């Protein structure tokens, strides 16, 4: 448009494309809680599945579902990888939030698909798994390397999930905080199966960070 000098008025555009977009990729080792509960699934899982069945979604990540539907879905395919979108109001401003639930087999590898796509990253571990925490460091390193390579600085949020598993905690909050500060990211602890407000807050924080860029 700059070639012809005259920018198009926003009112000429269809409403959908007028909505600013924010692409959030959810990364982390398998089992971190991006997608479902097997052990304690039981009745809750069945109920949640029933609730979701009318939605035009295939089953996404625990965090993603929690955020999009306020429900926790406990069982789904660990290999499933998909992108979901939702119109959100963040600080009274609308945004089309797209969430990519990634399903890496074993840590980062073949990352281009989300490195190029995302405007922000949620790196997730489970507070009851030291291994998942260590996996996060590898994701953070990949993201830091990528940020150095391109001019664009994408916000990264480190997320300790399964806060409801406090009695099995293997990773201290302080360790999460210090890892986050080492990589210059925000840090939160949440429970995908309990607290909708906190999960929503994290997604909205990601949008705010992107807007600050
Ligand atoms: P992913 O591989 O990161 O997508 O992990 P999943 O979302 O499949 O979750 C792995 C397991 O953790 C499943 O059994 C989930 O139901 C369970 N899970 C996910 N989030 C939570 C949570 O917040 N609390 C608890 N207790 N379990 C969770
Ligand atoms: Mg998954």
Q: What is the ipTM of this complex?
A: 0.98
Please, are residues 101 and 60 in contact by the beta-carbon 8 Å criterion?
Answer: yes
Q: Which residues surround ligand 2, an ion (CB under 5 A)?
A: 34-35, 103
Return all residues near 168 (Cβ < 8 A) that are at least 6 apart: 128
| Arithmetic mean of pLDDT, 25-49 | 56
Average pLDDT over residues 12-28: 78
CB of 68 within 8 A of CB of 86? yes
Please tell me the least confidently modeled range out of 28-32, 57-61, 185-189.
57-61
Q: Tokens 């990211």 — which residue?
A: 185
Q: pTM here?
A: 0.80
Distance of CA 182 from the midpoint of ligand 1 (Å): 26
- Strand 186-189 to strand 93-101: parallel, antiparallel, or no bridges (unpaired)? unpaired
Q: Which helix (H) or strand (E) holds 80?
A: none
The rounded distance, in Å, linking the Cα atoms of 185 and 121 is: 10
Residue 180's pLDDT is: 98
Mean pLDDT of the region 128-141: 95
- Three-state secondary structure call for residue 94: strand
- Segment 162-188 mean pLDDT: 97
Task: Please tell me what DSSP assigns to residue 12.
Answer: G
As a whole number, mean pLDDT of residues 137-143 equals 95
Going from the Cα of 65 to the center of ligand 1, the distance in angstroms, rounded, reads 11
Mean pLDDT of the 27-41 span: 63
| pLDDT of 105 above 80 | no
Q: Is 188 in the pocket of ligand 1 (CB under 6 A)?
A: no
pLDDT at residue 152, as a whole number = 76
Residue 79 φ then ψ, to 5°: -90, -5
Length of the chain measured in residues: 213
The pLDDT, as a whole number, for residue 16 is: 53
Instruction: Provide the Cα torsion 205, 207, 209, 213; round to 10°.
Output: -170
Ligand nearest the Cα of residue 36 is: 1
CA of 138 to the centre of ligand 2 (A): 18
Is residue 187 predicted with pLDDT exceeding 50?
yes
The confidence score (pLDDT) of residue 101 equals 86
Ligand nearest to the CA of 39: 1
Beta-sheet strand order (sheet of 156-161): 82-90, 93-101, 21-27, 120-126, 156-161, 186-189
Is residue 56 helix, strand or coil? coil
Residue whose CA is closest, atom 16 of ligand 1? 37
Largest alpha-carbon pair distance within the chain?
Answer: 63
pLDDT at res. 148: 87
Please indicate whether residue 84 or residue 180 has the higher confidence score (pLDDT). Answer: 180
Query: What is the chain's mean pLDDT, rounded?
Result: 78
Please tell me the least confidently modeled range out of 85-89, 131-135, 205-209.
Answer: 85-89
Identify the CA nearest to 139 among candidates 21, 30, 62.
Answer: 30
* pLDDT given at position 11: 54
62 pLDDT tier (thresholds 50, 70, 90) = confident
């Amino acid at each position: 448009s700059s070639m012809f000098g005259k920018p198009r008025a926003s009112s000429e555009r269809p409403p959908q494309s007028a909505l600013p977009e924010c692409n959030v990729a959810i990364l982390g080792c398998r089992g971190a809680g991006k997608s479902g509960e097997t052990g304690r699934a039981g009745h809750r899982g069945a109920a949640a599945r029933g609730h979701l069945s009318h939605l035009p979604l295939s089953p996404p990540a625990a965090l993603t579902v929690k955020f999009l539907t306020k429900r926790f879905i406990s069982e789904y395919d660990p290999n499933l990888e998909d992108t979901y979108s939702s119109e959100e109001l963040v600080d009274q401003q609308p945004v089309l939030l797209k969430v990519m639930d990634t399903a890496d087999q074993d840590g980062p590898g073949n990352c281009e698909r989300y490195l190029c796509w995302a405007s922000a990253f949620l790196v997730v571990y489970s507070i009851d798994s030291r291994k998942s925490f260590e996996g996060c460091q590898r994701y953070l390193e990949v993201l830091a390397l990528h940020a150095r390579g391109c001019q664009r600085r994408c916000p990264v949020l480190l997320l300790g999930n399964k806060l409801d598993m406090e009695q099995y905690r293997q990773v201290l909050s302080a360790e999460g905080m210090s890892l986050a500060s080492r990589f210059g990211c925000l840090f939160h602890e949440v429970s995908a199966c309990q607290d909708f407000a906190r999960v929503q807050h994290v997604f909205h924080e990601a949008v705010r960070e992107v807007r600050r860029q």
